[in-house]
């Protein structure tokens, strides 16, 4: 289960970074670690 979560997080992170690089006009606020902790169930 933990490996699946790590794989999902890695895919989400890379996809978000790719999207942020494509739309680099606005700051990548969605790359903050707190936004990644929320879907993983970790405290902010």
Cα(2)–Cα(31) distance, integer angstroms = 21
pLDDT digits (tens, 9 = 90+) for 5-41: 899 999 998 888 888 777 666 555 555 555 555 555 5
Q: Where do runs of H (alpha helix) occur along the chain?
A: 2-22, 33-37
| pLDDT on residue 12 | 92
| pLDDT on residue 21 | 76
| pLDDT on residue 40 | 55
């Amino acid at each position: 289960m933990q490996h699946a979560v790590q794989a999902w997080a890695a895919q989400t992170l890379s996809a978000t970074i790719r999207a942020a690089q494509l739309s680099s006009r606005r700051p990548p606020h969605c790359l903050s670690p707190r936004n990644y902790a929320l879907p993983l169930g970790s405290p902010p």
